[in-house]
Structure 1
Amino acid sequence: MPVAIIAGQPLHYLDQGSGPVVLLGSSYLWDSGMWAPQIEALSQQYRVIVPELWGHGESGPQPTQTRSLDDLARQALVLLDQLDIAQVNLVGLSVGGMWGARLALMAPERVNSLVLMDTYLGAEPEATRQYYFSLFKMIEDAGAIPEPLLDVVAPIFFRPDIDRESALYQDFRQALQNFSRDRLVHSVVPLGRLIFSREDVLDQLPRLDADTTLVMCGDQDKPRPPAESREMADLIGCSLILIPQAGHISALENPDFVNEALLTFLANHA
């Protein structure tokens, strides 16, 4: 996996295929593997680039000066500059959509089209923020995601009736268990606090181009429920697609549906 030095740290990214560029922004706590079905489908006709979040995959620790989602957006622009890429079609899921939309607002000339998946550009509701911060404190204190927390955190990402014995669930649970103390304390927890204390930018969404923007959401997404996606699509004035039989990590829970929707959208906009 190639590496770029950004803000003094190694940021790893996947770069596969050729053609118009599709930049995939990943979910918190997932590496580029969450996009495996999309990478396979899209890289037949597009150049697919997937940067790993700080402390995730093979990327290095979160740079100390990274304090906001705007910083993540700026770092993605630095990566594009280093790769000499003028324009991308940006598909961001969860935090990938949070920084992706900010990138589109910050540098609209760099974003040819934008897909926001299972994400929200409003502030985190206070009760939820406090809940997540309490989990971060427990993880920080333990230097690990304690066993009881694994079965609190893992289900957040999936539809409620996910088979907990399935490879999809068990592999993610194992990945959570594998995070080292160093990664958790220096990257994963700080990144989580940054995500869940984000500023509300809903009032800026009407600035996005409705014709080249699409909102998608798993119809059973618990942390980012469809009502949030509907609110954003209304503000942007763009289409909303609900992904059947999918929770938060919709790209993996219903990959065929997601692939078809993305290929159709990109065929008209890339």
Structure 2
Amino acid sequence: MPVAVIDGQPLHYLDLGNGPAVLLGSSYLWDRDMWAPQIEALSQQYRVLVPELWGHGESGPLPASTRSLDDLARQALALLDQLEIAQVNLVGLSVGGMWGARLALQAPGRVNSLVLMDTYLGAEPEATRQYYFSLFKMIEDTGAIPEPLLDVIAPIFFRPGIDRESALYQDYRRALQSFSRERLLHSIVPLGRLIFSRSDVLEQLPRLDADTTLVMCGEQDKPRPPAESDAMAKLIGCSLTLIPDAGHISSRENPDFVNEALLTFLANHA
């Protein structure tokens, strides 16, 4: 994978295909594999860019200067600047949508179209924020994701009825286990705290271009339920697409539906 040095740290990214640029922003606790079906489908006619989050995949540790989601948006812009890419079609899932929307608000001229998937631009509700912070404390105390915690964290990302013996689920569970102590303490936990302490930018959503924005959400997304996506789509004035048979990582749970929706949207807007 190519690498760009941003804020003093190596940011690894996938760069595949030719055509209009599509930037895929990933979920917390997932590497580029969460987009594997989309990378294959979109790279046939687009230039697909997938930066790895700090501490994820092959990227380096969270830079000390990273204090908010606005910093993640600024870092993504810095990557585009280094690659001399003037405009992108941005597809962000979960935290990828959180910083992706901020990027579109900061630099509207750089975003040709925007897809917000399984994400929320409001502040994290206090109850879930405190719950996630308690999980971070457990990880910090042990320097690992303990076995019992794997069975708490992994299901968050999938629809309730997923087969827990499936390759998708088991591969993800193993990926969580593979995080080193250093990555957990210096990147994963601090990044998680940053994400779940985010500011509320819902009041800014009407500034987004309704004609070039799409909101998508898995029908069975637990951490980011469809009601949140519906509220955001109404504020933006754009369409909402619910993804059947999918939870939070809808890109992997119903890839054919997601691919078709993205290809249709990009054909009209890229």
TM-score, normalised on structure 2? 1.00
Partner in structure 1 of residue 23 of structure 2: 23
Give the CA deviation at 1:80: 0.1
Which amino acid in 2 is paired with 1:153? I
Partner in structure 1 of residue 84 of structure 2: 84
Partner in structure 1 of residue 149 of structure 2: 149
Q: 2 CA distance for matches of 1:2 and 1:137?
A: 34
Partner in structure 2 of residue 257 of structure 1: 257
Matches within 5 A, 1:201-240: 201-240=201-240
Give the CA deviation at 1:4: 0.2
- Could you tell me which runs of 5 or more consecutive residues in structure 2 were left unpaired when the two chains were aligned: none
Matches within 5 A, 1:93-112: 93-112=93-112
Partner in structure 2 of residue 37 of structure 1: 37
Cα deviation 1:222-257 (Å, max 9, x = unaligned): 000000000000000000000000000000000000
Give the CA deviation at 1:27: 0.2
Which amino acid in 2 is paired with 1:208? L
Give the CA deviation at 1:269: 0.1
Q: 1 CA distance for matches of 2:55 and 2:17?
A: 25
Q: 2 CA distance for matches of 1:53 and 1:119?
A: 16
Give the CA deviation at 1:208: 0.0
Task: Tell whether 2:60 aligns with 1:68.
Answer: no
Indicate the SS of the match to 2:198.
coil
Partner in structure 1 of residue 5 of structure 2: 5
Give the CA deviation at 1:103: 0.0
Which amino acid in 1 is paired with 2:37? P
Q: 1 CA distance for matches of 2:117 and 2:52?
A: 17
Give the CA deviation at 1:261: 0.1
Alignment: residue pair count:
270
Q: 2 CA distance for matches of 1:131 and 1:191?
A: 16
Partner in structure 1 of residue 159 of structure 2: 159
Give the CA deviation at 1:115: 0.0
Indicate the SS of the match to 2:136.
helix
- Could you tell me which runs of 5 or more consecutive residues in structure 1 were left unpaired when the two chains were aligned: none
Q: CA RMSD in A?
A: 0.2
Give the CA deviation at 1:197: 0.3
Cα deviation 1:135-185 (Å, max 9, x = unaligned): 000001100000000000000000000000000000000000000000000
Which amino acid in 1 is paired with 2:115? V
Q: Alignment identity in percent?
A: 87
Give the CA deviation at 1:96: 0.1
Q: 2 CA distance for matches of 1:70 and 1:252?
A: 27
Q: 1 CA distance for matches of 2:32 and 2:175?
A: 13
Q: 2 CA distance for matches of 1:141 and 1:106?
A: 37
Indicate the SS of the match to 2:264.
helix
Which amino acid in 2 is paired with 1:269? H
Cα deviation 1:98-142 (Å, max 9, x = unaligned): 000000000000000000000000000000000000000000110
Q: 2 CA distance for matches of 1:88 and 1:167?
A: 33
Which amino acid in 2 is paired with 1:11? L
TM-score, normalised on structure 1? 1.00
Indicate the SS of the match to 1:49.
strand
Partner in structure 2 of residue 182 of structure 1: 182
Partner in structure 2 of residue 54 of structure 1: 54
Q: 2 CA distance for matches of 1:189 and 1:171?
A: 21
